[in-house]
A and B are shown apart, each in its own frame.
Chain A
């Protein structure tokens, strides 16, 4: 148990690595179990529901288009909205910052002599710290969303964008309510707790002088609000009190309520995985319905105020690299599909208001403080959220950009300068010694290989791991693979010296990616053996860095330079005219996805068409031969048996369909069980870093559990994974050998 109990508020603003480390400690020690359970259930429900939506992709495209158009036309739309609200009989206010928004709302409340008000859940009101300001004026502020009700009682910041108290288990809520409300009423089930809160809050609703809500979207043409909820507290907040104030960011404004349609269908499905949540309201306040006199103060007339907030959004909209964040519809699909978020929640992986990978940009933009985006380090770039976002935001790219800006915020330390020098890194691009080390994996590895006996001897010297932890923050519990005496390229040159078929033009090029070349040369050799056995004429390229390692450390310019050099080399090798096959999935995804942002359109498009996953290419190639692939690869020859447990690489799943590999293995006679986790937790260098070792281990637990479950149900399974870091993670976690699919196939030859 920790000596000092860390409170969430203490570590909400993560302006330093120290606070980030303490926040991770808090999350793993006290909040992880509830967060895991709740996010994973949202996640599964979303997969289940979106799979039944035949128009899912079309809806996402439509939503994205609407957001792009609306943001590009924000000034006109806000102007039109202000006119619509006034035409409807409401009041409109544009707040440039949090202070202006608070002041306006405080003034309205003063004019109406508001003594108590009810609030629907509004992240935007959290962002401007509204409650404190109103309470300072002597107003009783009652949060009515049950999650916000819990947080108000506990004085904590939200830990999730749609379920702000997702870190609370039922047991912890019971303990909190007992302590806070000093009651003897039964509080031991979800029903008890809900009844308790409902009865307390019903009286608050009916006695309130004002109601404050946010909005999911606002339409410029007629001043309509879209409000999505399940508890009915927002409906009550809008209708019971005579005064309604709605607060919304300027990015929520769309041209007309017709544009609500795709979002209504996408929002609930992406959020909780329900076709729709209990209530989706489309209202144009002030409502033309009578105010029922619950307060016993006589007849009252309705009044409506809409506050549209800038607070950093305008600047964000003008930031070419980060403006995509403004398309966010706050559904939480990215949080729930994030392996790190699943074990941490937003108190570890989040700021004072916004959480998860998308939250870092929001936190920086709305506070104006880049350093508060520090928690973006918890985004490993695994890219699982990319395919889940209903407006297709490239969240990993946002976090790489933030990392780059954070790196350049501070001057190079002495150690970092030495590392830059040692590895020949560009001094123009700042990064810590650790980041520079991981970003230049190719140079570290090539040096290590050149001095292989010596460098491997160093790794085994007592104290070497301690030294690496102290100097580079590489966790001493991690095992560093020894440097090979021969790289993949060396081996290949030895094995295939000027074969006769080299005279004929090879059918495919195989990319000697740096991770396989230095980290797993035998795997590379196996890949070539498999291709040759299938009759594929091939040529292995030189081993050039692709930029993945640099990009993951936020060294964007280094990554761009490497991407350009590789692309130039491949063009010269005529790689874009014939298939380019890649073994390592993180490199495959780098070329197919990340190069879009790093290369000019034409070379990117060419590479995108020619680049393939090696195993999937092999599967297709054999299928086209129309012969039984078991003639070459017969699972019956695999002594350990046909059962395999396969974990597909996270980034690979963003660019290709892992079921192609799985189907291929099944055709060969393997019985394949697939992992159902988003990421193994290693994610390149992430799991090696001392600061994140525990997060990485926590993430891997579920994967190991699933493998154990498969074994206890059906017997022993051979572990199979496609990424160099997934294999390392699984070996470390299980103590078993883990094979890459090509290594499995090569055993059958």
Chain B
């Protein structure tokens, strides 16, 4: 049994001790960046449940089609009321929640890597105040440099346009550290396991 950030037990697969140590470090780093994370089972319903729980009553929820995860994961979510996969400019401007996948996550920095080179992921991960990002535990790498080195990330699709997201947008320019500037104020990472 694994535990999510709220300490609730979740029905997810057991992970190896080595992976567990990476996960612990990832969780610690994610928290240091000001983001949150939880582990959920690899199932479309679990993804839907995790997203809706985190979004609570906020609508609309923008959703960017996954390119690396199976589209099945977002399918039940798309059927929900107030979830938009083809938003117009006004929706993009005002939607409070955006959901994207990440093609990788970085243990040492608590980052997720989001492809912004196609579709609307660039907007969905940027304009809403809450960004929920879904990543498979298999895509955990240790260092940021691994993204440029490991064979699995060397495919052109990954190479074109992406962003390491390490916590919500933030500034120290106005005196104290403030989280939430031009990008999301909150980031929640859903790790499929």
Binding site for B on A (CB under 8 A): 38, 144-147, 150, 163, 165, 169-170, 173, 189-191, 193-194, 197-198, 201-202, 205-206, 222, 230-233, 235-236, 239, 257-258, 260-262, 264-265, 272, 274-284, 287-290, 292-294, 296
Asked if B41 CB lies within 8 Å of chain A CBs, one says no
Binds A, one of B2-10, B45-53, B107-115: B107-115
Known: A194-B171, A230-B169, A231-B171. A282 touches B176 (CB 8 A): no
> What residues of chain B lie closer than 8 Å to A190, measured between beta carbons?
174-178
CB pair A165 B173 closer than 8 Å: yes
> What residues of chain B lie closer than 8 Å to A264, measured between beta carbons?
144-145, 164
Total CB contacts across the A-B interface at under 8 A = 167
CB pair A280 B181 closer than 8 Å: no
A selection of 10 A-B contacts at a CB cut-off of 8 Å is: A206-B93, A231-B173, A232-B169, A260-B148, A272-B172, A275-B29, A279-B183, A281-B161, A287-B116, A292-B89
| Residue from A147, A230, A290 with most neighbouring chain B CB atoms (10 Å) | A230
Asked if B126 CB lies within 8 Å of chain A CBs, one says yes
CB pair B162 A235 closer than 8 Å: no
Give the complex CA separation of A261 and B183 in angstroms: 24
Asked if B44 CB lies within 8 Å of chain A CBs, one says no
> What residues of chain A lie closer than 8 Å to B100, measured between beta carbons?
none
> What residues of chain B lie closer than 8 Å to A293, measured between beta carbons?
89
Which chain B residues (52-99) contact chain A, with CB distance < 8 Å? 89, 92-93
> What residues of chain A lie closer than 8 Å to B92, measured between beta carbons?
292, 294
Interface string of B13-57 (1 = CB under 8 A from A): 000000000000000010011000000000000000000000000
Q: Of all chain B residues, which has the CB nearest A206?
A: B93
B24 to chain A, nearest CB (A): 16
Which chain B residues (91-149) contact chain A, with CB distance < 8 Å? 92-93, 106, 108-111, 116-120, 122-123, 126, 143-145, 147-149
B107 to chain A, nearest CB (A): 10
Residue in A197, A202, A265 whose CB lies within 8 Å of B144: A265
> What residues of chain A lie closer than 8 Å to B177, measured between beta carbons?
190
Q: Is the interface of B mostly helix, strand, loop or mixed?
A: loop
| Residue from B106, B149, B175 with most neighbouring chain A CB atoms (10 Å) | B175
> What residues of chain A lie closer than 8 Å to B32, measured between beta carbons?
275
CB pair B167 A278 closer than 8 Å: yes
Residue in B149, B163, B166 whose CB lies within 8 Å of A258: B149
Give the complex CA separation of A261 and B93 in angstroms: 33
Q: Of all chain A residues, which has the CB nearest B187?
A: A278
B146 to chain A, nearest CB (A): 8
CB pair A282 B178 closer than 8 Å: no
CB pair B166 A278 closer than 8 Å: yes
> What residues of chain A lie closer than 8 Å to B191, measured between beta carbons?
none
> What residues of chain A lie closer than 8 Å to B171, measured between beta carbons?
146, 194, 230-231
Residue in B168, B180, B182 whose CB lies within 8 Å of A233: B182
Give the complex CA separation of A230 and B168 in angstroms: 8
Q: Which 7 interchain pairs have the tightest Cβ spacing?
A: A232-B183, A170-B175, A261-B145, A146-B173, A232-B169, A275-B109, A280-B164
CB pair A198 B175 closer than 8 Å: no
CB pair A239 B166 closer than 8 Å: no
> What residues of chain B lie closer than 8 Å to A272, measured between beta carbons?
172
Give the complex CA separation of A230 and B163 in angstroms: 12
CB pair B182 A284 closer than 8 Å: no
Give the complex CA separation of A296 and B173 in angstroms: 32
> What residues of chain B lie closer than 8 Å to A194, measured between beta carbons?
171, 174, 178, 180-181
| Residue from B92, B173, B175, B184 with most neighbouring chain A CB atoms (10 Å) | B173
CB pair A235 B145 closer than 8 Å: no
A720 to chain B, nearest CB (A): 36
Beyond the given pairs A190-B174, A191-B178, A265-B145, 6 more chain A to chain B contacts, judged by CB atoms under 8 angstroms and listed by A's residue number, are A145-B173, A232-B126, A261-B145, A274-B33, A276-B144, A294-B92
CB pair A146 B166 closer than 8 Å: no
Residue in B148, B161, B168, B170 whose CB lies within 8 Å of A261: B148
Give the complex CA separation of A198 and B179 in angstroms: 12
CB pair A173 B174 closer than 8 Å: yes
Give the complex CA separation of A281 and B182 in angstroms: 15
Known: A233-B181, A294-B89. A169 touches B169 (CB 8 A): no
Give the complex CA separation of A202 and B183 in angstroms: 10
Give the complex CA separation of A193 and B92 in angstroms: 24
Give the complex CA separation of A202 and B119 in angstroms: 22
CB pair B182 A144 closer than 8 Å: yes
Give the complex CA separation of A206 and B90 in angstroms: 11
Q: Of all chain A residues, which has the CB nearest B164?
A: A280
B42 to chain A, nearest CB (A): 27
Q: Of all chain A residues, which has the CB nearest B183?
A: A232
> What residues of chain A lie closer than 8 Å to B180, measured between beta carbons?
194, 198
CB pair B116 A231 closer than 8 Å: no
| Residue from A201, A274, A278 with most neighbouring chain B CB atoms (10 Å) | A278
CB pair A275 B108 closer than 8 Å: yes
Asked if B165 CB lies within 8 Å of chain A CBs, one says yes
B32 to chain A, nearest CB (A): 8
> What residues of chain A lie closer than 8 Å to B161, measured between beta carbons?
281-284, 287-288
Give the complex CA separation of A197 and B182 in angstroms: 9
> What residues of chain B lie closer than 8 Å to A280, measured between beta carbons?
111, 144, 163-164, 166
Residue in B144, B149, B166, B169 whose CB lies within 8 Å of A231: B169
Q: Of all chain B residues, which has the CB nearest A147?
A: B173
CB pair B149 A173 closer than 8 Å: no
> What residues of chain A lie closer than 8 Å to B111, measured between beta carbons?
276, 280
CB pair B143 A265 closer than 8 Å: yes
Give the complex CA separation of A258 and B168 in angstroms: 26
Known: A173-B174, A275-B108. A258 touches B148 (CB 8 A): yes
> What residues of chain B lie closer than 8 Å to A144, measured between beta carbons?
182
B59 to chain A, nearest CB (A): 19
Q: Of all chain A residues, which has the CB nearest B146?
A: A261
CB pair B159 A231 closer than 8 Å: no
CB pair A289 B159 closer than 8 Å: no
Give the complex CA separation of A264 and B164 in angstroms: 10
Residue in A236, A276, A289 whose CB lies within 8 Å of B109: A276
> What residues of chain A lie closer than 8 Å to B110, measured between beta carbons?
275
CB pair B144 A236 closer than 8 Å: no
CB pair B163 A282 closer than 8 Å: yes
A295 to chain B, nearest CB (A): 9
Give the complex CA separation of A294 and B123 in angstroms: 12
Give the complex CA separation of A65 and B46 in angstroms: 47
CB pair B182 A201 closer than 8 Å: yes
CB pair B166 A232 closer than 8 Å: no
Asked if B155 CB lies within 8 Å of chain A CBs, one says no
